[in-house]
Amino acid sequence: MRKHRQTRKADLRALPAVDAVLRGATGQRAAAQFGRARATAAIRATLAALRAAPPRNLPNAENVAASSLAALEQAEISTLRPVFNLTGTILHTNLGRAVLAEAAVAAATGAMRGAVALEYDLADGGRGERDDHLRALLRELTGAEDATIVNNNAAAVLLVLNTFAAGRDAVVSRGELIEIGGAFRMPEIMARAGARLREVGTTNRTHVKDYAAAIGPNTGLVLKVHTSNYRVEGFTAEVPARDLAALAHKRKTLLAHDLGSGTLADLTRFGLAHEPTVAEAVRDGADLVTFSGDKLLGGPQAGFIVGKRAAIARINRNPMKRALRVDKIRLAAIEATLRLYRDPDRLAELLPTLKFLARPAAEIEAAARRLLPLVALPGYSVAIVPCKSQIGSGALPVETVASAALSIRGEALDRLAARLRALPVPVIGRIERRALLLDLRCLDDEAAFVANLALLSSA
C-alpha cells in the first residue's frame, strides 16, 4: 500500500508545470487562439484530470498542451450548427424550417451591421413605425387593407384572440381545434388569450346553422382554422370562409382566419396541390388572416396578421403587441423575402423553399447518380432508390413529392446514422424499412457534401 502511494507521488511530480506547458509550441498556439486566460484554465483542467486518474505513462508538456487545445477546440463547436437536411422533409421544424433566400441573408446582415431607420421616418425626420416597412408590400401581395407582423403565427393567433375575444366567446368548429407540433393547442392558446372557447358542430361536420346558433352578444369573434396538419375524410362538412364571413358580418362580429402556413404563391404552378393563398382568404371576406413566415412562405420565423384597417389598428393598440414584435434583423429578411413574390416566375429560382419543392424527381435522381460513385462507406451497400419527400411543418399534410435517395444498407444502421451526425457538417437522413435514406431533394452543394463525407470517422 505504502509502496503504491509512493510511486504515485513520484509519478505526479513528473507532471509538467502549467507554465512549462504554456511555453511550448502547442501551448503558445492555444494561447494565441483562445487567449492566455482560457488556455491556462484548460491546461489546469487537463492536469487536474491527470492527477485525479493518472495513466500508466504520464504525458509530457506537449501532450498536455495538445489535449488542452483539443478540449478548447471541442468547446468552440456550436451545437446550433449547419447540417445537411437529407430527411426528405423540406420544412423541418427541428432543423429550422425554411432556408432563407440569399437576398434575405444579405438584408439581415446589412441590418445587423449598423443603425437602420427602424422606427424613424426618413421623409420628415420624425418617429415612424416598424410595421411601416412591410405594410405596402403586404397590402400589394395579399390585397388586404393593412398588416402587422409579430414573432410567429402562434403569437399572431394569440394576439388576435386577446384583442377581440378576451373575456368573450371565440366561436370555433370542433373539427378545427387542432394541435400543432411543439405544444400549440388551439384550446390552450384561447385560454391564455383570455377567450372563452365556444365549440360548435362536431368533429367531422359543422354547418352554418351551428355557427349562427352560437353567435350572440358575448361573441368576440368567429375563428376559422385551416386544419393544416391533418385531413378528415369521408362524411365531412365545413363552412367555407366566404359564408362564414357573411354570417359574422350580418351578426355584427368578425371573422379571423388562421391559415397556418398560408402561401403567397399559387402552388399549383409548381405541380403541387392547391393550398389556400392569403389573397384568397382576404378576398373571401375574413377581417383578419394570420399565417407563418417560415413555412411555405420561405422566410424567417414570423407571424403575419393582415386584414381590415380598423381591426389591425385595434391589434396595434394592444400592449401585448409590444411583447411580440420582431426586431430589425428579421424585418429586413422578411422584406427581402416578400419582394421576391413580386416576380412569381423567378420564385422557384430565388427562394430555396420553393426551389426544393419544385425540384423534379429526375433532377434529384441525376444528382444521386453523380454522387453514388463518390460515396464509399466500407461495410455498407449504397444504392439509388425512388422515395417521397414531404413538405413538413403541417403544410399540405398528405401531399408528398416524388424524390430520389441514396439508400444505405448494412449492419448497425443506427451507428452509421450517429457517425453521420458526428461529421463537421452533420448529415441527417431517415431510417425507413431497414435502410438509411439520404433524400437528396434539399441538397444544394454536392461538392461540400462529398468533402464532408470524406471526413467520416471509422469508429
Ligand X SMILES: *Cc1c(COP(=O)(O)O)cnc(C)c1O
Considering only residues 226, 328, 330, 355, which one is a binding residue for ligand X as defined by CB under 6 A?
A: 226
Q: What is d(CA 52, CA 60) in angstroms, rounded to the nearest whole number?
A: 17
Q: Write out the binding residues for ligand X, residues 387-406 only, by CB under 6 A.
A: 394
Q: What is d(CA 67, CA 393) in angstroms, rounded to the nearest whole number?
A: 43
Q: What is d(CA 408, CA 122) in angstroms, rounded to the nearest whole number?
A: 58
Q: Given the rule CB under 6 A, which of 71-79, 81-89, 213-221, 255-263 is the region that contacts ligand X?
A: 255-263
What is the chain's length? 459
CB nearer to ligand X: give 265 or 391.
391
Angle between helix 309-317 and 153-165 (nearest 10): 90
CB nearer to ligand X: give 26 or 153.
153
CB nearer to ligand X: give 153 or 206.
153
CB nearer to ligand X: give 27 or 394.
394
Considering only residues 60, 137, 184, 320, which one is a binding residue for ligand X as defined by CB under 6 A?
A: 184
Nearest to 303 by CA among 266, 259, 245: 259
β 169-173/196-200 pair status: parallel
Amino acid at 281: A
Q: What is d(CA 7, CA 118) in angstroms, rounded to the nearest whole number?
A: 69
- Measured from the CB of residue 181, what is the shortest distance to ligand X in angstroms? 8
Q: Given the rule CB under 6 A, which of 54-62, 80-88, 193-201, 257-265 is the region that contacts ligand X?
A: 257-265
Q: What is d(CA 317, CA 307) in angstroms, rounded to the nearest whole number?
A: 15
CB nearer to ligand X: give 247 or 281.
281
Q: Write out the binding residues for ligand X, residues 259-318 only, by CB under 6 A.
A: 260-261, 292, 303
Q: Write out the binding residues for ligand X, residues 19-78 only, by CB under 6 A.
A: none
Grid cell 513520484 in the structure block, residue: 10
Nearest to 395 by CA among 286, 241, 261, 292: 261
Q: Does 228 bind ligand X (CB under 6 A)?
A: yes
CB nearer to ligand X: give 180 or 221.
180
Q: Which residues on neighbouring strands pair with residue 390, listed in sequence order?
A: 89, 400
Greatest CA separation found in the chain? Answer: 96
- Measured from the CB of residue 393, what is the shortest distance to ligand X in angstroms? 6
CB nearer to ligand X: give 289 or 364.
289
CB nearer to ligand X: give 154 or 437.
154
Q: Does 241 bind ligand X (CB under 6 A)?
A: no
Q: Which residues on neighbouring strands pair with residue 171, listed in sequence order?
A: 198, 222
Residue number of the CB atom closest to ligand X: 260
Which regions of 86-195 does DSSP assign to beta strands (E)? 146-150, 169-173, 179-180, 184-185
- Measured from the CB of residue 380, what is the shortest distance to ligand X in angstroms? 37
Distances (CA, A) of 321 to 137, 148, 308, 326, 330: 20, 9, 17, 10, 16
Q: Given the rule CB under 6 A, which of 17-25, 28-36, 146-154, 378-386 is the region that contacts ligand X?
A: 146-154
CB nearer to ligand X: give 59 or 303.
303
Contact characters 151-170, ligand X, x per CB under 6 A:
-xxx--x-------------
Q: What is d(CA 260, CA 225) in angstroms, rounded to the nearest whole number?
A: 8
- Measured from the CB of residue 152, what is the shortest distance to ligand X in angstroms? 3
- Measured from the CB of residue 37, what is the shortest distance to ligand X in angstroms? 42
Helix (H, G, I), strand (E, B) or coil at 227: coil
Amino acid at 316: N
Q: Given the rule CB under 6 A, which of 222-230, 306-314, 406-414, 426-434 is the region that contacts ligand X?
A: 222-230
Considering only residues 172, 214, 225, 436, which one is a binding residue for ligand X as defined by CB under 6 A?
A: 225
| Binding site residues, ligand X, CB under 6 A | 152-154, 157, 180, 184, 225-226, 228, 258, 260-261, 292, 303, 394
